[in-house]
Amino acid sequence: MRISGWGKYLPARVMPNSEVAELVDTSDEWIRARTGIRERRIAAPEETTCSLAVNAARAALDKAQVAPEDLDLVLVATCTPDYANMPATASLVQHALGAPRAAAVDMNAVCSGFIYALATGSQFVATGAYKNVLVIGAEVFTRILDWQDRSTCVLFGDGAGAVVLQPTNQPGGLISFVLGSDGAGACSLYVPAGGSRQPASADSVADRAHYVKMLGRDVFRFATRVLPDSVVEALAAASMTTDDIDVLIPHQANTRIIDHAVKRLHVDASLVFSNVERYGNTSAASIPVALCEAIECGMVRPGATVVLSGFGAGLSWGTVVWKWHA
Ligand code: ACO
């Protein structure tokens, strides 16, 4: 199989750290030193996860020269769907694109969601079941942020990225993957209310329980362990080592987490793509957006071994080893 098309969409509005510092007690210096983030994008009021996803998807379909009518499957990785419970955002995207033949479903593994969706979509192509699969990571994460909580609101942004998967008789595609979960850490990073455990109520709104809560240090410890471990495990499953990596695209959560992982993996920093300083953490969108930009800047060359690795709430993680087509 191959990734025959790729596309991204970032909302136009740029929110620099200085603007966040007008809302909560923080500073540009603190945010840059602890996270590497300088600015993030904020969706316009009329934009939704679906509209961001559709913009990224159209770019990917154009690149792949695939008509929406020919799509077999639309997978949308997101934890900020347009509707809290139903329908799936993927169904909205499928309709907006004009893809009547396509099956559509959301996948929520939070920041690992795109890796889960890419590994899943690839199976349909590998078995020959489907020929045109659209995999999207899209989030309007800033709508679930508590803009009074400086420990979380400085970290995240909005965006979307998409790829089109197609079969090919050339070598390449998904070489190996590792997917994992540890629900024991569920409350390290979560939104307490709005689900069946704590349905929305006047109290839940008054308690600000519909916003993200995070134990930052716990997540940091988890991320710096699981990112290098899952990269090594996925490479081993492909009979490869870190020496075989041509491009490493980690989830763009935080420069310190990425630096930590790169050091532990002994990977040359020039092989690691990062754009977290411009977009912050866009959750499920971060890896496909980064992949698009790594392709655009010429880092992903024909035949390259590209390692994509995500981690996030769940807790969850996933790494894909992908051989780029020649
Ligand atoms: N501005 C200024 N001070 C702050 C801010 C802020 N935005 N946030 C916290 N602080 C303060 C704290 O109150 C604390 O002050 P105190 O010492 O007086 O109590 C001090 O800074 C240190 O706080 P820590 O939480 O220990 O700071 P830390 O060095 O751990 O950095 C951070 C915090 C950046 C959140 C870090 O823990 C981290 O990166 N964690 C991982 C977060 C992450 O990537 N989450 C997303 C995962 S992906 C997903 O699924 C969504």
Options 111, 153, 210, 292, the catalytic residue: 111
> DSSP letters of 231-296?
HHHHHHHTT--GGG-SEEEE--S-HHHHHHHHHHHT--GGGB---HHHH-B-GGGHHHHHHHHHHH
pLDDT tens digits, one per residue of 83-112: 999 999 999 999 999 999 999 999 999 999
Could you tell me if 88 and 55 lie in one domain? yes
* Furthest-apart CA atoms within the chain: distance in Å: 58
Over 90: is that where the pLDDT of 31 sits? yes
**Residue 189, domain extent:** 174-323
CA of 11 to the centre of ligand 1 (A): 25
pLDDT at position 326 over 90: no
Instruction: Flag whether pLDDT at 229 surpasses 90.
Output: yes
Residue given tokens 């009518």 in the structure block: 69
Those residues whose C-beta lies under 8 Å from the C-beta of residue 156, and which sit 6 or more positions away, are 40, 141, 142, 145, 212, 280, 281, 282, 283
Domain CATH code at residue 143: 3.40.47.10
The pLDDT assigned to 196 comes to 96
Q: Quote the mean pLDDT of the chain.
A: 97
At which residue do the structure tokens 């390449």 appear? 172
Q: Which of 95, 74, 192 has the alpha carbon at shortest distance from 138? A: 74
Q: Which of 141, 170, 199 is the last residue of a domain?
A: 170
Average pLDDT rounded to a whole number, residues 28-46? 98
The C-alpha atoms of residue 130 and residue 318 are separated, in whole angstroms, by: 23
pLDDT one-digit tens code per residue, 190-214: 999 999 999 999 999 999 999 999 9
How far is the C-alpha of 322 from the C-alpha of 60, rounded, in Å? 18
Q: Is 133 helix (H, G, I), strand (E, B) or coil?
A: strand
Residue 251 appears among annotated catalytic residues: yes
Check residue 201 and give its pLDDT: 98
Q: Which among 55, 254, 275, 281 is annotated as catalytic?
A: 281
Query: Within this chain, do residues 66 and 202 fall inside the same structural domain, yes or no?
Result: no
* DSSP code at position 156: B
What radius of gyration do the chain's Cα atoms show? 19
Q: State the number of CA atoms in the 13 A half-sphere of 257 facing the CB.
A: 29
Q: How many domains in the chain?
A: 2
**Nearest residue to 252 (alpha-carbon basis) of 285, 228, 229:** 285
270 contacts: CB under 8 Å, gap ≥ 6: none
Same domain, 260 and 282: yes
- Taking only the tens place, the pLDDT of each residue in 115-164 is 999 999 999 999 999 999 999 999 999 999 999 999 999 999 999 999 99
- Domain check: are 163 and 184 in the same one? no
Q: What is the pLDDT of residue 27?
A: 98
Identify the residue whose tokens are 């992903």: 300
For residue 295, what pLDDT is reported?
98
Q: How many CB atoms lie within 10 A of CB 51?
A: 21
Q: Which residues line ligand 1 (CB under 6 A)?
A: 26, 30, 34-35, 110-111, 150-151, 154-155, 189, 214, 216-217, 219-220, 223, 253-254, 257, 281, 283, 312-313
210, 251, 254, 292: the catalytic one is 251
Both 258 and 243 in one domain: the answer is yes
Mutational pocket test of ligand 1: of 220, 276, 277, the residue with most ligand atoms within 8 Å of the beta carbon: 220
- Atom number, ligand 1, closest to the C-alpha of residue 150: 7
Ligand 1 mean position, distance from CA 151 (Å): 5
pLDDT at 116 (0 to 100): 98
Task: Tell me, yes or no, whether 147 and 238 share the same domain.
Answer: no
Active site residue 260: no
Domain boundary among the residues 147, 170, 193 is at 170
Alpha-carbon gap, residue 226 to 234, rounded angstroms: 12
3-state secondary structure of 110: helix
What is d(CA 148, CA 207) in angstroms, rounded to the nearest whole number?
12
281 is catalytic: yes
Q: Which of 151, 170, 189 is the last residue of a domain?
A: 170
Judge if 145 and 201 occupy the same domain: no
The pLDDT tens digits for 286-297 are 999 999 999 999
Question: In 3D, which of 161, 157, 105 has the Cα closest to residue 137?
Answer: 161
